[in-house]
Amino acid sequence: QVQLVESGGGFAQPGGSLNVSCKTSGFNLDYYSLGWFRQAPGVGREGVAYISSGGDITHYAGSVKGRFTVSRDNFKNTAYLQMNSLKLEDTATYLCAAGFVRNTAWAQEDEYDLWGQGTQVTVSS
């Protein structure tokens, strides 16, 4: 059974940090690119970060560049999103996704075939 399960969300204060994980199973992660998206109430889903199957190419949305870092450990079938210097506007549900993604279209939802359910991140003072 194909699964992507996010964890590690929670509450943080502005300026704080959180590290969310995406544990995958049921497919060979080695061949898949991974993306992180987020969705806030009343807002469309936004591509946040991307990492290629080999881990050698990463992309970030401008709103998180320099603050967030995406990584992966194929031996553990897990991807990570380290979020530092969190802002109030980072509050959202964070979802991971996997697919055979065109590098130039990494932020497009329809590039991804497999999705997790998401983990809530709330930044509040």
The SS3 call for residue 27 is coil
Residues 11-37 have a mean pLDDT of 97
Contacts of residue 27, Cβ cutoff 8 Å, sequence gap at least 6: 2, 98, 114
Average pLDDT rounded to a whole number, residues 33-56: 95
pLDDT tens sequence across 91-103: 999 999 999 999 8
Q: What's the pLDDT at 103?
A: 87
Kindly report, residue by residue over 67-122, the tens digit of the pLDDT: 999 999 999 999 999 999 999 999 999 999 999 999 899 999 999 999 999 999 99
pLDDT higher than threshold 90 for residue 41? no
Give me the chain's average pLDDT, please. Answer: 96
Q: How far apart are CA 56 and CA 54, in angstroms?
A: 5
